Structures are given as structure tokens and as C-alpha cells.
Homo-oligomer: A and B are copies of this chain.
Amino acid sequence: MRGLMMDRPLLISSLIDHAAAAFPDQEIVSRTVEGRLHRQTYGQLQRRCKQLANALAALGVEDGDRVGTIAWNVYRHLELYFGISGIGAVCHTLNPRLHPSQLVYIINHAKDRFLFIDLTFIPLLQSVAHELKALEGVVIMTDREHMPETALENVLCYEDLVLSHSDQLEWPEFDERSASSLCYTSGTTGNPKGVLYSHRSTVLHSWAIALPDAADLGLATCLLPVVPMFHVNAWALPYAAAMTGTKLVLPGPALDGESLTTLMSAEEVTVTAGVPTVWLGLLHHWQETGKNVPSLRRVLVGGSAPPRTMIESFEKEFGIEFRHAWGMTEMSPLGTVNVLAPSMRSMADDERFAVKCKQGRPVFGVELKIVDEEDRPLPHDGKTFGEVKVRGPWVCSAYYRERRSASHDEDGWFATGDIATVDGGAMMHITDRKKDLVKSGGEWISSIELENLAASHPDVAHAAVIGVPDAKWSERPLLVVVPKKKRSPTKQEILDYFKGKVADWWIPNDVVFETELPLGGTGKVQKARLRELYAQHGAQQR
């Protein structure tokens, strides 16, 4: 028997319509690429989104067409989020930090008809434009005054385009399972793969991330997402902000500690979100200058695990809650959040910070399990580690235009490639990426645990552990170390440091010193590159 409730679709256009209806005067503040600070309200934003939507329709953009963006966190990017998806087209955000050849692959694979780009990225696009066969036009996200000379063809000026259209529009209604947006993973092996979000997944995920125990969004929140809108939709925070009337502060291209501190202080930001690298920059700036942001109550961190010292600095030095979350592009991205139960607040510092290093509990909407190599569920004892598999309405079911996915099983679970333990209180702790585990004599060694330990050595700035071939054990761990400036630890000092801290057979076979580690487009260490470099290393040691 069916319930007798209205069959209203969950659409992204409803988010911006709601914001304009319920919070017409709430502000969106944006540092622009051109330099100035721009202010608008949700009421004004909605009207601009409708102008943009009419402009897209006039360009011939139709239902399901892909429209690409290469842009910072700026208000025009926000207009594109709602305007493109609102008319049923697909907002395809592109990561400018990827290698140009990857960008070409992605744009051609997605068959983007138009690209909307910030001024910053004109040289990047010029360098590859001749390879983009399906592209019909490029819209530079600026006004007439700032339009540059460019060798690009079929170029339009964003403001000219938008302002030449009416703000009168009733958003179309369609199935909530329709595609809304597209983001490619920057896969370290093979070609990038596209994750195609739907209106339904985006709206449901917005509720999840707005909850008190996730980003905690509402009228009293002032949110600055440092996490880029070109990567997993800035954790979908812009949608959730519109849902809840949260004041949004968009930092534009200036993501250094000083710029962030100035903007956050001026706008009285209460919550911010980003990857550990950004917070490292912010912390250094605060520690060097004695400044901080008095209004800031909470920092959300994800993308990779923050070092414990970072969590301690924010909480103990600055009294700011550091909230650790986990997810991935395939998960929209939210999977788990680490919020302490009231009973944990009274824990001793040492125990509490150990808990805060974990990735947390699943949010409602995400089912999660850990399994062994034969796909059997593993116990939640805080010790046994296995691959994390997830299921839920905002988890991808397949990759865009890929026939097969090795990550999806018959029962509809997605294998994340992350290795974790889960404790009796349901707290998940990621111990490694599956491909980065070192498999020694049939047993797993966690590269991340070894790296964290190495990074806590006083002379070590960065560390990476990879498995290298070994005749006897099949693989053994190799430690790659970037020493701190003016420090030169010896191999033996580093190896001795591990003794008594991990099982003897976990201790790396060798240490090599480098001046830097190879980083990918999203700031993660490229272990595949390290494995290539050191493929022949194993035979030489022990």
C-alpha cells in the first residue's frame, strides 16, 4: 500500500528557491579573482541563477548536456552550480591542478559542450584547447572591463551573457534521479573516472552534511569552505548552505594563511572546511604572527588524515573544535564524522586525542562494513582491519561511460579501497589505502601507521612508506624521508626510532632520503610514482 504523501521531487533548484524564499537577506561574500570583495544575498543569487539559466538555454544547452567549469570558490561558480543543474544540465567541475593531459582526457570523455573558466585558467586552457574536439564555446567568468585578449576561440564574457537575459523563470520539474553534476576522480592509476551525481543524491547529502554532528549549518553559521568547488562540489557545502540559510564566505584564489585569516576575521566566520595541508598553512601563520580568528568555533577536516599534532594545536592552543570526517568523490563525499560522545569529553587529553584521530561514525544514509579479502565481514574490535565497503543513496553505482567497475559488487556495495578498523563504539579508523598496504609474508603492514610514526621523529618533515619487491617476503616496507631543514638524520637513527613502537617485522627494511615527495593534483603523495622509482630497491638491502 502506498502512503498518501505528495510526490514532490528533490531538486537542486528547490534549494536555491528555498534560500531566496526563507532567507532572502542572508549574505554570500566572495573574494573575487579580479581582487575586490563581492557581496550578494540569497535573493539576489537566485535571480542571477535564473538569468544564467535563461542564458544557457539561449546557448542551446539542453537536458543532460555537460557544461564544464574550471573555477575557484567564487560567487559566479555558485551561480553555475544552481543555474546549470537547475535546468537539467550537468555541472561538470574540473580540477585545474590535474595534469593538462588528464584535463584533456576528462573534458573529451565527458563531451563538455561549454566551459566556464576563471581568468586564472586562461593560459591552462589555451595550452590544450586544440585538443578539445567537442567544445563549442568558452565563457570567461568576469565582466567586460576585465576581459583579456585571448587566443581562445568562441569566447564569451560571463557578465555580458548573464545580464542580457531575464531573471523570470520557473525551474523545470523532472525525475529527482536525473543527473545533476559530474566530478572525475584523479585516480593514481588508469584514466580518471567520472562520478555522476543526481539531484536526489545531492539533496539527501545536503541534509546529512548540515546536521549538528556534521557541519552544523544554520542561520547563525558563517561558513568558509576552503575545500575547492572544483573537487567533489566543495563537499557539497554550497548546497547545504542554501538549504539552511548559512552565510557563505568564498575565499576565491587566495588560500594562504594570511589571506584566510584576514577574510575569516572580517566576516566573522564560525566554521571552515578543508584538507590538512591548508590547516598546516593556517596554523603556521597563526603561530608566527600571534594572530587567529576569534569567531572561529570549528574546523572540518577531510581528504586525508590530519596529524595528531594538528588536532592538538587547534583544540588546545586555540580552543577551536577540530572535526575529522571521511569520504570520497564516489560518496558525494560524506561517509563518517568524528564527533565525541558526551562521555568522551571527560577523557584525559592523551586518550581523547587518540580517539579524535579516528575518522568517526557513519552518518545516517551511509551503511558501512569492513571485509576481508574473501569479502567476509570482520569484527568491530578496534584491531582487525579490512577493506571498507559502503552503500547508500549518495554512493555511486557505476562510473560515467564505463561498462564495468571493479569496485562494485553484486549486492550493490562499493569497495572504497580504504583499509580500516572499527571499534565497539562504531568509530572507524583508516589505517591505509588497500593499494598502499605492504603485504609481507601474507600479513598486512599499514603504510600510514609507519608514516605517522616516522613523521613524529623530530628531524622528519615528511615521510612515505611503500612496499618494494622482496624474494623471501614477497614485499617489504621502504621508508622515504624528507628531513626537516638543516637536519640530517641517519638511516640507523630513524630505524632505531621504530623499535618498541611497532612489531619488529613492521620496521622498514631501509630508509631513503629525498628533498621532496611527488604530489598529485589533490595534494596527495603519489605512491605509484614512488613505487616506480624504487621498484629495483628491494634486492639491495637486509
Residues on A close to B: CB < 8 A?
A: 1-8, 10, 14-15, 17-18, 21-26, 63-64, 90, 175, 177-180, 195-201, 204, 207-208, 210-213, 216-221, 243-245, 332, 339-342, 361-364, 367-368, 391-400, 412, 414, 424-426
Closest to A5 in B: B201
Please state if B179 and A6 are interface contacts (CB–CB under 8 Å).
Answer: no
Given the known inter-chain contacts A22-B361, A212-B216, A212-B217, please indicate yes or no for A5 contacting B197, CB distance below 8 A: yes
Q: Smallest distance from the beta carbon of A500 to chain B beta carbons, Å?
A: 33
Residues of B within 8 A of A207 (CB): 204, 207-208, 211, 364
Choose among B1, B210, B391 the residue that contacts A179 (Cβ–Cβ < 8 A). Answer: B1
Q: A10-B393, A219-B339 are in contact. Are A398 and B4 (CB under 8 A)?
A: yes
In the complex with contacts A22-B426, A213-B245, A364-B18, A4-B399 CB distance below 8 A: yes
Chain B residues with Cβ below 8 Å from A90 are: 1
CB-CB nearest in chain B for A343: B25
* 22 pairs, CB–CB < 8 Å, chain A vs chain B: A1-B90, A1-B196, A4-B397, A5-B177, A5-B197, A5-B198, A5-B393, A6-B395, A6-B396, A7-B177, A7-B397, A8-B412, A14-B364, A21-B367, A23-B361, A204-B207, A211-B218, A212-B212, A212-B220, A213-B218, A213-B219, A220-B342
Contacts A1-B90, A3-B201, A5-B332 given; 9 further ones with Cβ under 8 A? A3-B197, A5-B196, A6-B397, A10-B393, A18-B364, A22-B363, A210-B211, A212-B221, A220-B339
A219 near B342 with CB under 8 A, answer yes
- What is the chain B residue whose CB lies nearest that of A20? B426
Q: Please, which residues of chain B bring their CB within 8 A of the CB of A25?
A: 341, 425
When C-beta atoms are compared, the residue in chain B nearest to A242 turns out to be B364
Measured in the bound complex, the distance between the Cα atoms of B218 and A361 in whole Å is 12
- Please determine whether A364 and B15 come into contact, CB atoms closer than 8 angstroms: yes
- Given contacts A219-B341, A339-B218, A362-B22, whether A395 and B208 have CB atoms under 8 Å apart is no
Given that A211-B211, A361-B23, A364-B15 are known contacts, is A3 also in contact with B199, CB under 8 Å in the complex? yes
- Residues of the B chain whose Cβ atoms lie less than 8 Å from the Cβ of A391: 6, 8
Please, which residues of chain B bring their CB within 8 A of the CB of A244?
Answer: 211-213, 364
Q: Is the CB of A5 within 8 A of B211?
A: no
Q: Could you say which residues of chain B place their CB within 8 Å of the CB of A211?
A: 207, 210-212, 217-218, 244
Cα distance A229–B430 in the bound complex, in angstroms: 40
A498 CB to closest chain B CB (Å) equals: 35
Q: Which 8 A-B pairs have the closest CB atoms?
A: A3-B198, A1-B64, A207-B207, A212-B218, A213-B218, A5-B201, A4-B196, A3-B179
Give the most central of A217, A393, A398, A399: most B CB within 10 Å: A393
* Minimum C-beta distance from A173 to chain B (A): 11
Chain B residues with CB under 8 A of A23 = 361, 426
Min CB gap A246→B, angstroms: 9
CA distance A363 to B221 in the complex (A): 16
Q: Chain B nearest CB: distance from A411 CB in Å?
A: 11
What residues on B are CB-neighbors of A14 within 8 Å?
A: 364, 367
* Alpha-carbon gap, A178 to B5, bound state (A): 10
A368 — which chain B residues lie within 8 A by C-beta?
21
B212 engages A3 (CB within 8 Å):
no
Residue of B with least CB distance to A369: B21
Min Cβ gap A278→B in Å is: 25
Bound together, the chains give a CA A204 to CA B7 distance in angstroms of 12
B15 touching A396 by the CB < 8 A rule?
A: no
Smallest Cβ distance from A297 to chain B, in angstroms? 12
Contact for A177 among B2, B220, B394, CB less than 8 A: B2
A22 to B428 CA separation, bound complex (whole angstroms): 10
Name the one of B22, B361, B397 contacting A5, with C-beta atoms under 8 angstroms.
B397
The reply to whether A212 and B213 form a contact with Cβ atoms under 8 Å apart is no
CA distance A412 to B8 in the complex (A): 9
* Cβ–Cβ contact A196 & B395, under 8 A: no
Question: How far apart are A9's CB and chain B's nearest CB, in angstroms?
Answer: 8
Residues of chain B within 8 A (CB-CB) of A394 are 5-6
When distances are taken between beta carbons in the complex, the residues of chain B under 8 Å from A339 are 218-220
Kindly state the separation between the CA atoms of A355 and B177 in the bound complex, as whole angstroms.
Answer: 39
A17–B220 alpha-carbon span in the complex (Å): 32
Which residues on the B side are within 8 Å of A396 (C-beta)?
4-6
Residues of B within 8 A of A340 (CB): 219
Tell me whether B178 and A26 are in contact (CB under 8 A).
no
Could you tell me the distance in whole angstroms from the C-beta of A101 to the nearest C-beta in chain B? 25
Q: Is A180 a contact of B219 with CB atoms below 8 Å? A: no
B2 touches A426 (CB 8 A): no
